[in-house]
Amino acid sequence: MDNNEYRLPGGSAEALLAAGAAEILQCPAGTAFHQLREWHAARPGWLFGHLAYDLKNETEKLTSSHIDGIGFPDLCFFRPRYLLRLGAGKLTIEAGDLTAQEAQQIFNACLQERPAGSQLALTNAAPLQARMNREHYLHSVNALREHIRKGECYEVNFCREQFLETGLTDPQQLFHRLNHLSPAPFAAYYKLHHRYLVCSSPERFLQKKGSRIISQPIKGTAKRAADPAQDAALQQALRSSAKEQSENVMIVDLVRNDLSRTAVQGSVRVEELFGIYTFPQVHHMISTVSATLDEQRFHFTDAIRHAFPMGSMTGAPKVRVMELIEQYEKTRRGLFSGAVGYITPEGDFDFNVVIRSILYNGEQKYISFQTGSAITFYSDAEKEFEECGLKAKALVAALGL
């Protein structure tokens, strides 16, 4: 995990590397959060892993029936054999009863690493495909606007998958390419057996430090321009857009409600509303919501469970829009729009939102990425389709397409 030297509210580890699995917890939706709680309590330590979107089937009475070409489990965490933490000019190397000499050998091996090459090798020239073509996407957006008009919901995060049926010779090299093209504060490279995640996420799902919890939903996107004056104008247009502010505040209200379910009464507050942050490909509108966890009544896993899936990737009200997502999307989200992160021995944690990501199943030779946007009554289907393309730009470039 790499924060690429971004300085966002809440801070984050400069870089973390967890390698090797001394133990692993892997389970489907059903009792996954309870198993995670028990597993951490049995032997508190560093845990790294993921929460897939379809844990919604545990938090709510929902189902998932679409195709999933990647196949990450609903929940998986591991206790690393090796943990490297970089921050404040210091590298800490941990590995059980690691000796100073062994730590020095690991450090020397790191120094000998060389940057990955620039050439990305796909095993064959397969075409980029989509489960939902442009016409179907436009029709679905207008159908969702009709659900909104009828008062069933206010906002729906709607996504489409693009995929390649081919192999990758070096997924780690793909991460280096994407991280170079689109460095992000919650970047991650994650390997679980033959499944891989290459992630350039700009969004934090949930962080806990002590009893303080923060969430930083993104809603509102504008493209970048090469000309500084034009770029500043695009940024200002995003800052003053009533449509983008409306989308953002809907999700902020949803996050406030999610955090309040495990918070000390009266502790939920919006620390920043409509903050504008700039990334290599886009400008984003980000808000920060904080709360104090009521530790007398709730475990840290309760805070995660009650906030998951993140409102920025569902919409509002959450249960109804997740039903509509299942109805209109054509691909099971799996790890996409889930979260990757870590839990400390003390029960603190930090998780991103898995967006701007490429997923790969090395056994099935299947490469996938999904992009989406927030649909409201005032959405223009053509512009929403363009926003999906904008968010996919760096992913397509990283794949050399």
- Strands 75-87 and 349-352, bridge-based pairing: unpaired
- Name which of 239, 249, 61, 287 is nearest 155 in CA terms: 249
Quick check: is 56 catalytic? no
* Cα separation values, 135 from 64, 168, 207, 374, Å: 24, 30, 39, 18
Annotated active-site residue in 58, 155, 203, 387: 203
- Name which of 354, 317, 302 is nearest 333 in CA terms: 354
Q: Which residues of 253-264 are buried (b: 16+ CB within 10 A; e: fewer)?
A: ebbbbbbbebbb
Annotated active-site residue in 56, 161, 208, 219: 219
Our measurement of the distance from residue 215's CA atom to the centroid of its chain's CA atoms, rounded to an integer in Å, reads 12
Scan for tokens 């904008």, then name that residue: 390
- Strands 47-51 and 75-87, bridge-based pairing: antiparallel
Pull the structure tokens for residue 65: 């029936």
Quick check: is 203 catalytic? yes
Residue 225 is given by DSSP the state -
Q: Are 80 and 48 in contact (CB under 8 A)?
A: yes
Report the alpha-carbon angle 56-60-61, nearest 5: 110
Residue 261 is given by DSSP the state T
Give CA–CA dist 322/95, Å, rounded.
Answer: 41
Give CA–CA dist 386/383, Å, rounded.
Answer: 5
State the catalytic residues: 203, 219
